[in-house]
Chain A
Amino acid sequence: MKNNKDVKVALIGNPNTGKTSLFNQLTGLKQKVGNYPGITVEKKLGICKLNDSVKAEVTDLPGTYSINPTSLDETLVLDTLLNEKNNSFPDVVVVVVEIENIKRNLLLFTQIKDLKIPTILVINMIDQMKRKGIDINVNELEEKLNTKIVLASARKNVGIEELKEVILDYKKLDTTSIGKITDKIDKEYFTKLKNAFPEFTLYKSWLLITQNNEFEFLNDNQKKLVLKFREDLGCIKRYQHKETIFRYQIINNVLKSSFKIDKSKASDLRGILDRILTHKIFGYVIFALILLFIFQGIFDWATYPMDIIDGAFASLSSWTKSILPPGTFTNLLAEGIVPGIGGVVIFIPQIAILFTFISILEETGYMSRVVFLMDKIMRKFGMSGKSVIPLISGTACSIPAIMASRNISSWKERLITILVIPFTTCSARLPVYAILIALIIPDKRVLGILNLQGLTMMALYLLGFTAAIFSAILLNAVLKIESKSLFVIEMPNYKIPSLKNIFYEVVEKTKAFVFGAGKIILAISIVLWFLASNGPSTFKNSEQIVTSKIENANLSEDILQKKVASFKLEHSYIGYMGKSIEPMIKPMGYDWKIGIALISSFAAREVFVGALATIYNVDNDAENSGTIKERMAAEVNPNTGKSRFDFPTGISLLLFYAFAMQCIGTLAIVKRETNSWKWPILQLVGMGILAYVSAVLAFNIFS
């Protein structure tokens, strides 16, 4: 697929400039994202066909206001542009600016231009020009900025073909920078800098010495020189300030004659909406109502497709069994692989619905208002207003949520956010909750409209958030980390969300889940099936043993079969594993069969349901029918004669799954994002203790 003729394109721009819309228009569904462990590419990549023979590999870099990073995702942008040996180093940079905020947006453009990488300027959202009373002189702008300009409206698919043509001709782009800023700041100083690094462009050298981090691509000599220049910190800081002021002067001069805006056309819709949405009472009420709507909606809507998927995979499993000749392979397929895939597919409705909501809130610009409203409150818990979005995303999946914390600039606030995210009720917990709630909570309505099961689900969500908040308070008091933090957020204009952007966002997140975390779930299901259908010598002779034991009784073939199957499960490898942990889990009210489910859901909690399906499927081999729920409800506790999944056991299980850290994927991502094993281990142990203690307490209180 890749050849030398491919052009590497990097899309760069401020947040809220429509950069993502442009990326979606250029690449369509030919996108891939490395969101999950194993495929640790952190950039969004896509392929775009420029003409019949040339393709472009387009990278969508995180939105940033300047090339000087203040958070991890902005650091990615700088790294991409400085390291020429990196294989994602662009041949051409496309800077996306939004017409209304062109002045501020151009700052980043002038910085990139100084790196002397071929740069194209895309002025986006030109469809708004008339309404906002904006008039621009493109030719004059092109001349003054030494660049090619493409006017576009990415959402309306305007200017995309023209952009492709300009990208094809990138070698003809003018790479001279705009104005000699370095001369204005301190000619002598920058001459010295230039002579120290003759191999780099001057602005690149300047960026190398102004950052705090170490650049791996430099050789020892260069590293030493960089450190020497960094010694004069006061001077660097002063010059960075001067640099910014000169850049704004240049931009103001450029725009003075080529960009005009008729202020009388400005509407005050934004002002009105802001006054309502950030109001000290209505603001919170509206936010709470939106959350309530999302959560109650998720539970109600997602159950329909989930029941259908659950039923469909149950019938697919028995159908597979009925048409294939009996044997190990058929069993593997019908009892291991098919339910395993079902266990992955069943999450799609919830993940898709949740991310649809989240991306609508982000697209409209409402999320920034939530950050604004919540910042002071979140700071009391050691977090930032920006932690709200990761915490809400955590209700879909912790993995993308933890990655969404990268824009928090204070390390302490970010770390606490990362550590408490796994308490939020992720969609992997939902099937566990759903099945347990259906078993122990009656399907009644209270107050006429509210569904009791839905309310329980809501309570579990609140429990997750409460646990997150309390552990954040604890961490905030315990962690002694000094970190400088600067909190600046842009309050973008309100926008009608683009269906296309939402669609791609949802597809991307769901795809990443299915192919990333889904692999773990499928693999565990297969291993589990193997462990359940194989065992030491007693297992192999189970038929004989069972028959000899009940020699004298006159049992029907059917019941005999069941007895054999149950004996087999007990003496399989997994049976022994479950039995060996039984003393430990007994205080929580569980038997060895639930123990099996616990062991297998250690790596991914959603496997719980699949594991029970496998266990009871093997168990009830003779009558291969019914959904997992029906089979669980039929299970009886031999000690009490009551249902196995009665109220105390159910509550105990719900609490255990609410608190325990059972997700390998999350642990791996925390290790990667914090660059240390210390934090994931803290999560695993701390959450494990909380889960165990509260499950034991709950079981004893309710029995």
Chain B
Amino acid sequence: MIKTIANLQIGEKAFIEKLCLDNIPLKLLEMGCLPGIEVQLIQKAPMQDPLYIKVNGSHLAIRRETAEKITIIK
């Protein structure tokens, strides 16, 4: 099964897969969410959406639909 940021458990860490560059919106890239970088899920909002992640030193909240596009490897 392909895992994405949306599959992470709270506190869990993983690396953003190198191949999914085209799926990451430009704005997220610019905010530090780059392929090969470690990402950690900090918190889920009630109703599991949005997701609060820490990536490249930035603390960001993104919607589940965006998170589902970003594949990860352990």
Query: A interface vs B, CB < 8 Å?
Result: 65-66, 68, 70, 100-101, 103-104, 107, 237-238, 240-241, 244-245, 248, 271, 274-275, 278, 280, 283-284, 368, 371-373, 375-377, 385, 486-493
For residue B45, give the distance in angstroms from its CB to the closest CB of chain A: 5
Is the pair B46, A487 in contact by a Cβ cutoff of 8 Å?
A: no
Chain A neighbourhood of B43, CB < 8 A: 274-275, 278
Partner of B29, one of A70, A241, A283, A493: A241
A101 with B50, Cβ < 8 A, contacts A238-B22, A487-B66 known: no
Q: Which 5 A-B pairs have the closest CB atoms?
A: A280-B46, A66-B30, A491-B59, A244-B29, A376-B47
For residue B20, give the distance in angstroms from its CB to the closest CB of chain A: 11
State the CA gap A372–B29 with chains docked (Å): 20
Partner of A103, one of B24, B28, B56: B56
Chain A neighbourhood of B50, CB < 8 A: 372, 375-376, 385, 487
Is the pair A486, B47 in contact by a Cβ cutoff of 8 Å?
A: no
Query: B interface vs A, CB < 8 Å?
Result: 21-22, 24-32, 34-35, 42-43, 45-47, 49-50, 52, 56-63, 66
For residue B69, give the distance in angstroms from its CB to the closest CB of chain A: 11
Closest to A238 in B: B22
Closest to A274 in B: B43
Chain A neighbourhood of B57, CB < 8 A: 100-101, 103-104
For residue A234, give the distance in angstroms from its CB to the closest CB of chain B: 9
Is the pair A376, B42 in contact by a Cβ cutoff of 8 Å?
A: no
Is the pair A274, B30 in contact by a Cβ cutoff of 8 Å?
A: no
A376 with B30, Cβ < 8 A, contacts A274-B42, A487-B63, A488-B61 known: no
A104 with B49, Cβ < 8 A, contacts A275-B43, A368-B61, A487-B63 known: no
Chain B neighbourhood of A248, CB < 8 A: 32, 34
Closest to B46 in A: A280
State the CA gap A643–B53 with chains docked (Å): 61
Q: Besides the contacts A241-B21, A376-B46, A487-B66, what 13 more A-B pairs have beta carbons closer than 8 Å?
A: A66-B30, A101-B57, A103-B56, A104-B57, A237-B26, A241-B29, A274-B43, A278-B52, A375-B45, A385-B50, A488-B28, A490-B31, A492-B59
Is the pair A104, B59 in contact by a Cβ cutoff of 8 Å?
A: no
State the CA gap A615–B19 with chains docked (Å): 73
Chain A neighbourhood of B25, CB < 8 A: 486, 488
For residue A275, give the distance in angstroms from its CB to the closest CB of chain B: 7
Secondary structure of the B contact surface, majority rule: mixed
Chain A neighbourhood of B66, CB < 8 A: 486-488
Chain A neighbourhood of B52, CB < 8 A: 274, 278, 372, 491
Chain A neighbourhood of B30, CB < 8 A: 65-66, 68, 107, 244
Is the pair B60, A70 in contact by a Cβ cutoff of 8 Å?
A: no
State the CA gap A488–B31 with chains docked (Å): 9
For residue B70, give the distance in angstroms from its CB to the closest CB of chain A: 12
For residue A98, give the distance in angstroms from its CB to the closest CB of chain B: 11
Closest to B32 in A: A104
Is the pair B45, A373 in contact by a Cβ cutoff of 8 Å?
A: yes
Closest to B59 in A: A491
Partner of B56, one of A65, A104, A237, A493: A104
Closest to A409 in B: B27
Is the pair A488, B45 in contact by a Cβ cutoff of 8 Å?
A: no
Chain B neighbourhood of A486, CB < 8 A: 25, 27-28, 66
Closest to B64 in A: A376
A487 with B26, Cβ < 8 A, contacts A373-B45, A373-B46, A375-B50 known: no
Closest to A248 in B: B34
State the CA gap A373–B49 with chains docked (Å): 9
Chain A neighbourhood of B49, CB < 8 A: 375-376
Chain A neighbourhood of B42, CB < 8 A: 271, 274
State the CA gap A107–B57 with chains docked (Å): 14
State the CA gap A98–B60 with chains docked (Å): 16
Chain B neighbourhood of A245, CB < 8 A: 21, 29, 34-35
Chain B neighbourhood of A240, CB < 8 A: 26
A376 with B45, Cβ < 8 A, contacts A274-B52, A488-B61, A490-B60 known: yes
For residue B39, give the distance in angstroms from its CB to the closest CB of chain A: 14
Closest to A210 in B: B26
State the CA gap A66–B31 with chains docked (Å): 8
State the CA gap A238–B24 with chains docked (Å): 11
Partner of A101, one of B24, B34, B58, B61: B58
* 15 pairs, CB–CB < 8 Å, chain A vs chain B: A65-B30, A66-B27, A68-B30, A103-B32, A104-B31, A240-B26, A244-B29, A248-B34, A274-B43, A274-B52, A284-B46, A375-B61, A488-B27, A488-B60, A490-B61
For residue A100, give the distance in angstroms from its CB to the closest CB of chain B: 8
State the CA gap A371–B50 with chains docked (Å): 10
For residue A185, give the distance in angstroms from its CB to the closest CB of chain B: 13
Closest to A107 in B: B30
Is the pair B27, A372 in contact by a Cβ cutoff of 8 Å?
A: no
State the CA gap A202–B30 with chains docked (Å): 20
Closest to A247 in B: B30
For residue B48, give the distance in angstroms from its CB to the closest CB of chain A: 8
Chain B neighbourhood of A375, CB < 8 A: 45, 49-50, 61, 63
State the CA gap A551–B24 with chains docked (Å): 89
For residue A519, give the distance in angstroms from its CB to the closest CB of chain B: 39
Partner of A490, one of B24, B56, B59: B59
